[in-house]
Amino acid sequence: MHPYLLGLRLGGRRVVVVGGGAVASRRVPALLDAGADIDLISPAVTASLEDLAAGGRIRWAKRGYASGDCAGAWLVCACADDAAVNAAVAAEAEDRHIWYVRADDAGASAAWTPASGAAGDVRIGVLTGDPRRSAAIRDAILRSSSLAVGRHRDKDRDKDRDKDRDIDRDEHRDEHRGKDRDEHRDDDRAGSVAIVGGGPGDPGLITVRGRELLAEADVVVTDRLAPRTLLDELPADVEIIDAAKIPYGRGMAQEHINEALITRAQEGKFVVRLKGGDPFVFGRGAEEVLACLGAGIPVTVVPGVTSSTGVPTAAGLPVTHRGVSQDFHVVSVHVPPGDERSTVDWKALAGGNGTLVLLMAVERIASVADALISYGRGPGTPVSVIADGTLPTQRTIISTLENVAGLVMKEGIRPPAIVVVGDVVSVGAEIAELTRGDPVTPEISWRQKG
């Protein structure tokens, strides 16, 4: 029997996910994007899921499945590595008349997860008996939908010229994708690696080239800050390696990441290293390129939208503004000012008038503010902290150098977050005031969708 296609509106509704491995890592971000209230049940989870739990995005019951866990759920996802556990979860959900998905046995599932995607406000879902065929059809539909959206938005474009260009573009894309498949999937050729910048978090901000290569992947090695909802669009047979690095917590060592890229490529596979932001901006992408090239593995590098400018822009905060700031400086604060490992000239930064964009600074914001003030920046200098930039949970606070550390603690701001120091913050506040319709003053906090 053919399935009855239905779109579930999960906003605020309880979803139970049993299992904390690679499949759950793919499903949970997409469920969060749908607004689901998630209970994750598993003795152990991947680093990215642990990070979501630590940030309060999901609830994690650190134990095995127990009878009764499905009670009150609207949807249950059985993603455990043990088929017997998945069967028990499915049986309970069936008895309670709750829709459930078994990741290990589509034939035993009450519901199926389609190959899905979005083009603007259009969502696409495709179901076939073959996950790769579903994904290929989905991608073809999305390409057509994107072109249709583009034509709709530009009504004055000459229709004949547009048609010719679309045909040329499609032919070029098909030829190009054909070359990708020949290059990456031919068993007679060596594998290769693509280092892809995924942008600051919103899956819509990955480049077209990056998304095309992701669709070709046999293996994806992903970061904590990469657009993880894109993983749920991949066919089930794509291997996902979670290389998430939790601040002050667990993470995959860089040498092990390099080894995974090299060994999978040596097996003849096309490996995509999906990273947050731009891979060459505090992303250790160059280290991975050097490791692969040193092992004789061909590498493609795809730039991404760096969070250092993408996140402030998404929050309506310009890092430069005529008459206010003619320069900006991007600084990694993985070690605090005064630390012998730091190579940052904080005195020079404090003495100028340029905008400071600080990455990895939330945990060390007090020492940063003290250093800047001690070297001459005014205590009343505006500061903005933007957490979860470009994501639905994006949140912005505005303060001053002398008060920002206290406000960060009071508001419970945690990484990932971008800190912007300088008078451009006042420009951003003016933009927010005109957008929101109410005055924006220091010592405030608001939530906003990226």
> Which amino acid is it at 397?
I
Query: Which residues, other chains included, contact 354 with Cβ-Cβ below 8 Å and sequence gap of 6+?
Result: 325, 326, 327, 328, 329, 422
Q: Do 282 and 392 contact (CB within 8 A), yes or no?
A: no
* Axis crossing angle, helix 254-266 with helix 285-294, rounded to the nearest 10: 40
The active-site residue out of 218, 223, 232, 388 is 223
Q: Give bridge partners of residue 39 from the DSSP assignment.
A: 16, 59
CA neighbor of 384 nearest in space, from 342, 341, 446: 446
Q: Distance (Å, rounded) from C-alpha 274 to C-alpha 242? A: 10
Q: Would you say the C-alpha torsion 207, 212, 215, 219 has a positive or negative sign?
A: negative
For 331, which DSSP code? E
Q: Which two tokens stand for residue 351?
A: 């003495």
**How big is the chain, counted in residues?**
450
Is residue 155 annotated as part of the catalytic site, yes or no?
no
347 in catalytic set: no
- Work out whether the CA dihedral 227, 233, 234, 239 comes out positive or negative: positive
Q: Which residue is it, tokens 């904590």?
A: 224
H-run or E-run covering 119: strand 115-119
User: Any residues with CB less than 8 A from the CB of 129 and at least 6 apart, and which?
Assistant: none
Two tokens, residue 96? 């309670």
CB 251 within 8 A of CB 245: yes
Query: For residue 450, what are its two tokens?
Result: 């990226």
CB 338 within 8 A of CB 367: yes
**Which residues is 275 bridged to in the sheet?**
197
CB 400 within 8 A of CB 360: no
**Catalytic choice (51, 218, 232, 245):** 245
How far, in Å, CA of 299 to CA of 397, rounded? 40
Catalytic residue positions, numbered: 223, 245
